[in-house]
Structure 1
C-alpha cells in the first residue's frame, strides 16, 4: 500500500470520478486508474464500483477510505509541525466546539490563540458530537471540545475531562408543561435531541428508562445543529435536554426554562475529545492551552456573571 495509491483513492471519493481525481491531483486519468488498480491488486479486494456516471465504493473500499483519510490528514499535521520547527508557521486547525462553550469562553480563547499562532488557518465547527464524531473519525477534525457519550464511541475516541456541568430538561418559557415535576409528565410531548448514532440507547436510558419511563421514539426529533434545536423548542413547543448553563446566557437566557424534576440527572463531563492513539499537533495543543487559561481565569473571577456561570460548572483541572 503506497501513499500515491491512497491519495488516488481519497481524491476519487472526493470528486466522484477518475477524471475529477486526476484533475485534483494534477495527474493523467491513466495514472490515477493505474494507482487504483494496483491498490486493488495488492489488497486482493474490489474497492471501487465503476460506472459511466461515476464511481462508488464497495464495503471494503469504504473501510480503506476511512483509514486513507486518517493517514493523509496525519501526514499533513506532521508536515505543519515540521514547518513550524523550521520557523515557517503554516497549516490549519479544525476544532469542534460544543455550543455552550461557544457562547461563553470561545471568543476569548480564539483571540489568545490568534495572537500566539497568527499564521494558522483556524476552522471552527459547531461541535455537537453527532456532527463532530464523523469528522474526528476520518481525521479532518483535530479534536472536539465536547461530551463523549458512553457506547461504542468510547473504544474509538478518548476524552480528557476538563470540567463537569449540570444538565436539565428544558422547555420554552410559557410552555404548557413548564410546571412539570416528573419526566413521566412529559412522555406525551414531542422532544428534540442531539446524539450520535451509537449513543442513542444510552441517552434514552439516561433520560427515561432508568427512571421507569418509556417514550415512543417516534416523538423524538434528532437535530444536527443548535439552531434547529432552539427553533423546535421555541416554535414547535418541544422538550429538550441541554446543559443548564444555556438558560443563563444569550441568546437562550430568559427563553429556555429548566424544569425542576424529581428525577436526578448526574453532572456530565466535558473534555477534549480525540481519536484514540492520535497525536495532537502543536497548534492543537496551543489552542487547548488557550481555552483552559480562559476557563481558569473565569473560574477565579468574582464578577457576578462569572459566579453565575460556575453555579452549574465545576472545574477539574
Structure 2
C-alpha cells in the first residue's frame, strides 16, 4: 500500500508554483514576486506553500530582510529556470511556424567582441528578428557560467578553458586569438621582457569560479613563475578591470586584440614577453544537451557573417584588429 508520504512526493509540480518560486528568488521577497507576476501576495504565498507541502522539504526561510533559499530550494530553483526556458523556446518555435518570430534571447558576449563587432551583429539581428526581445550580458565567464547553468542565459560568446568544457558545457569554436600581458601606456614596466619582471606588481584578473588553477597555470606556473596571490584583485567586470589597469597601474592578461580595439587604442600596451601563451578560443558556449533556439541560431549566424566580413576587409583598422586572430569557420 502506498503511504501518505509517497503520495505527497509524487504530486506533480505546477507551472504557476515554479513561476512563484523564480519570481521570489529574483525579487527577494513575496511582495516583490507578487508585483512582478501581477498577483496578490496571498496567491504567491499559497503557491509556495503548496510547493513545499508537495515536496515535504523546506525550500526557503523567511527573514526580516526577505527570503533565503535552502539547499533544496536552490536545487529546485535551477531546474525551475530550465523548465521555463525550455517552454520559452517551445513558444518561440511555435510562433515561428505561425510566421511570427518572438520570445526573448539572452546572450553573453565577451568584452572584446562587445567593443568591436557587437553593434553590427545586433543591427543585423534586429533586421532579421525585430520581434525578439534581446538581452545582452558582458560575458566574462565568471559571470556567464552560473547563468548558463541555470538556464537564464541562452548561450555565451566567449572563452571556456578545455578543462571546464566536458563538465557542463558544449563549445563550438569560431576563432583563435592571441593573449598577452597588458598595461597602461606609460606604465613603469612597459619595457619588461619576462613575466618574472612583473611578479612584484599589482595585478587584476578575471576567471570563473572553477577557472583559477587553469589561469594561474597558463599565466604563471608553466613559466616557473610564482606570484603572491595577495597581489591579485579579481575583477568581475571589464569596467572595474579597465579602471584598475589605467588608474591603479595594475597589470592584467587578456586578448591582445584589446590593445587595438578602438576604445583602448593608444591607452593599453601589449607587452612583448619572452614567454609564449597558448592561443585562446572564442566559442559559442551552451549547456550540454541543450539545442539552440531559432533566434539563437539567427544571432550566431549574424555574428559569423560580421566576423567574416571584417576578416576579409582591406581597411587598416580591420587588418590591425585581425592581426592576432585566426578564423576557424
TM-score (norm 1): 0.94
Please name the residue that 2:235 is paired with.
223
8 Å contact from structure 1 (residues 153, 198) kept in 2: no
| Cα separation, 2, equivalents of 1:224 and 1:279 | 28
CA offset digits 1:39-65 (Å, max 9, x no partner) = 223333221213455322111111111
Shift of 1:293: 0.8
| Cα separation, 1, equivalents of 2:57 and 2:36 | 25
Of residues 128, 135, 141, the one that matches 1:123 is 135
Please name the residue that 1:305 is paired with.
317
Task: Map 1:247-262; keep pairs closer than 5 Å.
Answer: 247-262=259-274
Please name the residue that 2:24 is paired with.
12
| Cα separation, 2, equivalents of 1:30 and 1:175 | 60
Shift of 1:285: 0.4
CA offset digits 1:170-215 (Å, max 9, x no partner) = 1112111111111111110000111111101110111111111111
Please name the residue that 1:50 is paired with.
62
Please name the residue that 1:280 is paired with.
292
8 Å contact from structure 2 (residues 161, 211) kept in 1: yes
Shift of 1:217: 0.9
| Cα separation, 2, equivalents of 1:299 and 1:152 | 29
| Cα separation, 1, equivalents of 2:118 and 2:64 | 47
2:148 partner SS: helix
Q: Which runs of 5+ in 2 are unaligned?
A: 1-12
Shift of 1:301: 2.2
| Cα separation, 1, equivalents of 2:238 and 2:281 | 19
Please name the residue that 1:199 is paired with.
211
Root-mean-square deviation (CA, aligned residues, Å) is 1.8
CA offset digits 1:135-183 (Å, max 9, x no partner) = 2222222111100134446411211100000000111121111111111
Of residues 251, 261, 269, the one that matches 1:239 is 251
Of residues 127, 136, 144, the one that matches 2:156 is 144
Q: Which runs of 5+ in 1 are unaligned?
A: none
TM-score (norm 2): 0.90
| Cα separation, 2, equivalents of 1:51 and 1:238 | 41
| Cα separation, 1, equivalents of 2:185 and 2:32 | 52
2:26 partner SS: helix
| Cα separation, 2, equivalents of 1:142 and 1:161 | 17
Of residues 266, 273, 280, the one that matches 2:278 is 266
Matched, 1:101 2:93: no
